[in-house]
Amino acid sequence: MEKRTFLKTGLLLTVGAAMAPLIKACKSGNKAAATNAGMTIPPPKLRRTTPFTLPALPYDTGALEPHIDKMTMEIHHGKHHQGYVNKLNAAVKDTVYAEYELDDIIARVTTADAEKNVRNNAGGHWNHSLFWQVMAPDGGGKPGGQLASGINAAFGSFEQFQTAFSDASKSVFGSGWAWLCVGKDKSLFITTTPNQDNPMMLQIASNPGTPILGLDVWEHAYYLKHQNKRADYISTFFNVINWNEVGRLFDKAMFG
Ligand code: MN3
């Protein structure tokens, strides 16, 4: 090979290798028409000009005692969730996602290795932002309104829903989430996702839908109080579910 040709080829290969993750991210990020179980990725709401920030808790860190302890809430919100926010800001830098809103990132992110940090930290930010809202100090009891009818229609009764949701939460192997979702056909269903994935990740989720309730079953969510007893944590979660908020999300997903 002539020296000049070699230098040129060598340079191209180097630039090519450096650009590959970015190009990959751009390609998948721009894939706008993909559908999953009838759900289509909506056009992006360009553009976001400020970094992601940690949303304030809608109650005091000790407000969910004795069901969820104050120290767990302090670490879970102040350290774990803050960590996802910080890492997400770093992960989207210089990618196609840099100016996307969180929902738009979630809908587009793929399983590509180059997007792993975006996937994990966008999911972490989205999932916890929902999680804090679907709990409340005066929570628990049973849902009312349209949601009560929806749950009865889908699961037979509230008690049957509670059993199914608890079983799904226990079934997550390792770290992940259990969800109550509204599907494209407007029916309620329960699903789980590993790690920080969620059902709005249309390029990833095996059962896509709009989550209206989510339960974090990572050990960091319960280990300080319940140690290895995930079942106790799942059972106590039902004492703090904010059914008013879950009902509002249900109505929004069902009726716009
Ligand atoms: Mn968590």
Q: How much distance in Å is there from the Cα of 19 to the middle of ligand 1? A: 33
Q: How much distance in Å is there from the Cα of 110 to the middle of ligand 1? A: 21
Q: How much distance in Å is there from the Cα of 175 to the middle of ligand 1? A: 9
Mean of the per-residue pLDDT values of the chain:
89
| Residues, beta carbon < 5 Å, ion ligand 1 | 216, 218
Q: Is the dihedral of CA 86, 55, 193, 61 positive or negative?
A: positive
Q: How much distance in Å is there from the Cα of 195 to the middle of ligand 1? A: 9
Q: Which domains does the chain have, with CATH numbers?
A: 70-133 (1.10.287.990), 145-255 (3.55.40.20)
Q: Report pLDDT for 14.
A: 39
Q: How much distance in Å is there from the Cα of 23 to the middle of ligand 1? A: 31
pLDDT-flagged residues of the chain (< 50): 1-32
Q: Is the dihedral of CA 171, 172, 173, 174 positive or negative?
A: negative
**Which residue shows structure tokens 């989510």?**
214
Distance separating alpha carbons of residues 25 and 16, to the nearest angstrom? 14
Task: Tell me how far CA of residue 67 lies from CA of 3, 72, 168, 177, 244, in angstroms.
Answer: 71, 11, 20, 19, 19
Distance separating alpha carbons of residues 104 and 125, to the nearest angstrom? 13
Question: Cα Rg for the chain, rounded, in angstroms?
Answer: 21
Q: How much distance in Å is there from the Cα of 196 to the middle of ligand 1? A: 8
Cis peptide before 66 (omega within 30 of 0): yes
Q: pLDDT tens across 40-98, in order?
A: 898 888 789 999 999 999 999 999 999 999 999 999 999 999 999 999 999 999 999 99
Q: How much distance in Å is there from the Cα of 164 to the middle of ligand 1? A: 21
Q: Report pLDDT for 13.
A: 38
Q: How much distance in Å is there from the Cα of 219 to the middle of ligand 1? A: 8
pTM comes to 0.86
Token digits of residue 211: 């989550």
Q: How much distance in Å is there from the Cα of 230 to the middle of ligand 1? A: 14
Token digits of residue 79: 């350290």
Q: How much distance in Å is there from the Cα of 197 to the middle of ligand 1? A: 12
Distance separating alpha carbons of residues 238 and 228, to the nearest angstrom? 18
Q: Report pLDDT for 32.
A: 45
Burial 146-172 (b: 16+ CB within 10 A, else e): ebeebbeebbeeeeebbebbbebbeeb
Token digits of residue 209: 């839908």
Q: Report pLDDT for 127.
A: 98
Distance separating alpha carbons of residues 36 and 39, to the nearest angstrom? 5
Q: Report pLDDT for 235.
A: 98
